[in-house]
Amino acid sequence: MLNALLPLTRETPLLLCVITRPQPETPLTWISSPEMETTAVPTLTEININPLSDEDGRALLGHLINLRQLPESIVRLLLTRAEGNPFYIEEFVRTLIERELVHAKNGQWEVKSVVSMETLEIPTTLRGLMMARVDRLPEDLRNILRDAAVIGLQFSASLLNEMRRRQQGNANVVPALERLTEMGLLVERHEFGEQVYAFRHILTQETIYSSLLRSQRPLLHRSIAEAIEDLFAPDLTPHTEVLALHYDRAGDRSKALSYMLQAGDRARQRFANREALEYYSRALQLAQHVETYANERRQANIGMGDVNQHIGNYEEAVACYRAALENQVEGLLEDNAEVMLKLGQVWNKKGNQQEAEIWLRQGLAQIHLASHPLPKVEAQLTSELGWLLLRQGDLSAAQRWLEQAAQLAAQNQQHGALSAIFNRLGAVYYTQGNLEKATVTVQKSLELLEQIGDIVGMARPQNNLGILKKNQGDWQGALQSYERCKEIFERIGDTDGATIAYANLGVLYTDLGNWEEAERHLLWDLNLAQQLANPYHLAQAHRSLGRLYLLRKQWNKSAQHLNTAINIYKDTGTRGQIELANTLFLRGLLNLEQGKLESAREASEASYELLRAHGKNEAEAAVEKGRCEMLLARLAQATGNFDQAQEHIEESIRLLHQSGAIIDEAHSRYWRAQLHYARGRTQQTHEELLDVREIFARLGAATDLKETEITLARIEQERASSS
C-alpha cells in the first residue's frame, strides 16, 4: 500500500511517516517508479534511529530522576543493561515509582533511600524488567493483561469483557483497564464510539504473551474466537482475519481453514495480494493430507492461482490451477470449466496461444457435459476464445465469437462480463479500421462499468479509449485515459496491465516529442516486461525503445533494441509477424538515416513480404504498408528516381488516409513536400508544409512541428530571396 501511495507525494502535499523496528532479515523495501526517480526534491528520506549513547542515556535518566542521590554504580549498570534503549530507562524509573523507592519533589523524582537502591536487583533484559513489573501486579490485573495480550496489541473493552464473562460468568473490565492505563501499561483510544485500548509498547504485549505456557494459549485463543462470534454474530465478515488467526492458534483446523479461505478472498478482492497469498498458503497447509478437505484445497489453489495471475507470476499460477484440477470434486463441472478458463487466460498472457486455446476448448467441452446450462462460464470462455483469435489475426472469427459471448452475457444480465466483451469488440472494430464503431462500443463498456460501480474494471476500457482517442487525433485526451489506466493498474498491482499502460504512455510521449518522459516510461515498461517474461511484451518494449532512439539519432542504441525485438518476434509465431514487419520497417528507416541504402531496401522488402503473407485483410496491414511505401519513396528519392518516389509516396498517403492514421499520413505528406522541393515545385512544397504544420500543431507533436517549421522557414526565405 505504501509503495502505491508514494508517487502521490509528487503531486499532492502528502507526508507519510512510517515507523518500524529494525528488521535486518526483512528490511522495508520501496519500489521505485519513473515519477519518483525524476523528482528534484528527494521523495523518500530514511532516518535510522541509533541506540542512545551513554551520555544521552544519562541525560534521559537525569531528566526523569535526580541523579545526585542515585549511586553511580547503579547508573552505570542501568546504562549497560539498557544498551541504548530509552524504553528500558523509562521502565526502570516506572519500577522505582511503583515500588515506592522514589518520591516526587520539585517536579522531579528523588531517591528515598540510598541503601534500598544499592540492594535493588536490576533485570538484565528489557523483557525481564517488564515482567518484573507485571509480576508485582495484583492477580486480577495480571490476568486481564494476560487475556488482553492474547487478543493482540490493540483490543476493544467489549471483547475483553465478553472473554472474561465466558471465563467467570460475569465481568466488568473497565475499572481494571483504567487502572492499567494510569500505570502506563496501556493507552486508551476512542474509535468509532467504541472503547478501545492498546498496550503502550508492543514489547509489553509480546513479553506477556511469551510468558504464557504453550498449553494455556490454545484455550485462550479459542475463548477469544468464540467471544467474537457471539459479539458480532450478525456480521462476522469484518472479523474474518482475526477469527482465522485465533482458531488457527487454538488448533481448530476446520474453523481455521474456513476463515483462512474467507480472509484470502477478502484480501484478494481489495488487491492486498501478498496478504491474500499468505492466507491461501496457510489454508493449503491446514488442508494438506486430509482427504475430507479436498474441496478446501481446491479453493486455496484457485485463490493462489488468481492472485499469482494478477501480479504476473504466471508459472506459479499455472501450477496452482493444475493442482486445483487434480483435486477433483464430484459434480463440479462448472468449477472445472472455470479453472480451465483461468489456465487459458494465463497461457495467453505467457504468450503461448496454442496451449491457451487447448485449455479454453477443454473448458467449453466441460460445459457441454453438464446436465444444465452454465451461461456465465460459457460467455467467459467464448469471449476468451474470441480475444485469442483477435490476437492471432483472425478478425472475422474473433468478431463472431465475441458477438456470441455478448449475446450470452446480455441474456443472463452479466454486466461485468458484458462490459469486458464490449471492450474486446471495440478492439476488433478498431483493427478492422472502423474507429467510429470501435469508440461507440468501448463507451458502452465504460457505461456498463459505471452502472455497476466497478471503478477498477474501467482500466482496460480506458486503455482502449486512449488508443482510439490517439488515432482520432485527441492526443491530450489519450494521455489522460492512459494515465487513469496506469493509476488503476498500479493501485491494484496488475503487472500485465501496468506494462500495457507504460508502453502506451511511452509511445505517446515519443510522438509528442517529450523524449525524456518517453524514455522513462519505456524503460519501466521493459523492466515490467522482463518480470513477466512474456516474449510479446518484451519485443514490444524493445521495439518502442528502438524507435525512440532512432528519432533521437542514437543509432547504436536504436540498432541494439530493434535487433533484439526482431529476434524475439521471429520466435512468437503468427501473432508477432505484423509487429515484426513494423520493426523491420524501423530497421530500414535506421539504415536509411545512416546512409546504408541497400540494407534499408532489404529491410523494407522483408517487411512488405511479411505483410503480404500475414496481413489477413487490407485494414489490418494498411498502416504498415503505408509506412513501407513511405520508406520506399525516400529510398527512390535518395537514388534520384523521382518518378518512382512519387508513386510510392502517393500510395503511402492513400493507404494511411484510408486507415485514419493521422500522424503517419502527416509524416508521409512531409516527405512528399520534400520530394516536391527536390523536383523544383516550390509552391506545392510550401502549401504541403503549411497543411502538415497545422496537423502537427493540432496533435501536439512538438518535434515534428519544430522540424516542419524549420523547413518551412527555409523555403519561405528562399522564395523571398528569389522574388
* Segment 452-480, tens digit of pLDDT: 888 888 888 999 999 999 988 899 999 99
pLDDT value at 40 more than 50: no
Contact 495, 5 (CB under 8 A): no
Q: What average pLDDT does range 404-432 have in this prediction? A: 91
Single-letter residue type at 353: Q
pLDDT value at 499 more than 90: yes
- 18 pLDDT tier (thresholds 50, 70, 90): confident
Beta bridge partners of 73: none
Q: Is the dihedral of CA 201, 207, 212, 218 positive or negative?
A: positive
- Report the alpha-carbon distance of residue 349 to residue 313 in Å, rounded: 11
Beta strands in 415-538 (DSSP E): none
pLDDT value at 431 more than 90: no
Which comes out higher in pLDDT, residue 27 or 155? 155
Q: What average pLDDT does range 8-27 have in this prediction? A: 72
H/E element, 616: none
* Segment 95-136, tens digit of pLDDT: 888 888 888 887 788 888 777 776 777 888 888 888 988 998
* Segment 371-410, tens digit of pLDDT: 777 888 999 999 999 999 988 878 899 999 999 999 999 9
Q: What is the structure's pLDDT at 126?
A: 84
Question: How buried is residue 598: exposed, middle or buried, by Cβ count under 10 Å (0-12/13-18/19+)?
Answer: exposed
Contact 260, 286 (CB under 8 A): yes
- Chain mean pLDDT for the chain: 88
pLDDT value at 38 more than 60: no
H/E element, 189: strand 186-191
H/E element, 104: strand 102-105
Angle between helices 702-722 and 682-699 in degrees, nearest 10? 150
Q: What is the structure's pLDDT at 511?
A: 94
- Report the alpha-carbon distance of residue 108 to residue 66 in Å, rounded: 7
- 43 pLDDT tier (thresholds 50, 70, 90): low
Contact 556, 593 (CB under 8 A): no
Other residues' Cβ atoms within 10 Å of the Cβ of residue 335: 19
- Report the alpha-carbon distance of residue 538 to residue 323 in Å, rounded: 29
CA-closest candidate to residue 707, choices 693, 719, 717: 693
Buried b (16+ CB within 10 A) or exposed e, 259-276: bbbbbbbbbbeebbbebb
- The CA–CA distances, whole Å, from 193 to 158, 176, 598, 617, 664 equal 12, 20, 80, 66, 63
Buried b (16+ CB within 10 A) or exposed e, 451-484: eeeeeebbbbbbbbbbbbbbbbbbbeebbebbeb
Q: What is the CATH number of domain 505-722?
A: 1.25.40.10
Which comes out higher in pLDDT, residue 715 or 23? 715
Q: CATH 1.25.40.10 residue ranges in the chain?
A: 505-722
Q: Which residues are within 8 A (CB) of 8 and not within 5 positions of it... i.e. 6 or more apart?
A: 14
Which comes out higher in pLDDT, residue 27 or 625? 625
- 574 pLDDT tier (thresholds 50, 70, 90): low
- Report the alpha-carbon distance of residue 378 to residue 316 in Å, rounded: 25
Beta strands in 140-182 (DSSP E): 154-156
Angle at 378 between CA 337 and CA 383, to 5 degrees: 110
pLDDT value at 2 more than 70: no
Q: What is the structure's pLDDT at 618?
A: 61
Question: How buried is residue 358: exposed, middle or buried, by Cβ count under 10 Å (0-12/13-18/19+)?
Answer: middle
Q: What is the structure's pLDDT at 229?
A: 95
Question: How buried is residue 121: exposed, middle or buried, by Cβ count under 10 Å (0-12/13-18/19+)?
Answer: exposed
Q: What average pLDDT does range 5-15 have in this prediction? A: 69
CA-closest candidate to residue 501, choices 479, 516, 519: 479
Contact 573, 348 (CB under 8 A): no
* Segment 350-360, tens digit of pLDDT: 888 899 999 99
Angle at 554 between CA 553 and CA 556, to 5 degrees: 130
| Range picked from 8-12, 29-33, 487-491 for highest mean pLDDT | 487-491
* Segment 61-84, tens digit of pLDDT: 888 888 887 888 888 888 888 888
Strand order from edge to edge, sheet including 154-156: 154-156, 194-199, 186-191
Alpha helices in 594-701 (DSSP H): 597-614, 618-638, 642-659, 662-678, 682-699
Q: What average pLDDT does range 282-308 have in this prediction? A: 92
pLDDT value at 489 more than 60: yes
* Segment 237-251, tens digit of pLDDT: 999 999 999 999 999
- Report the alpha-carbon distance of residue 638 to residue 644 in Å, rounded: 11
Extract the C-alpha cell encoding 697. Answer: 500543431
Weakest mean pLDDT among 27-36, 63-72, 482-491, 616-625: 27-36
Extract the C-alpha cell encoding 287. Answer: 488442508
Q: What is the structure's pLDDT at 4?
A: 59
Q: If you count DSSP H runs as helices and E runs as strands, how many of each does the chain have, helices first?
A: 36, 5
- Report the alpha-carbon distance of residue 676 to residue 662 in Å, rounded: 21
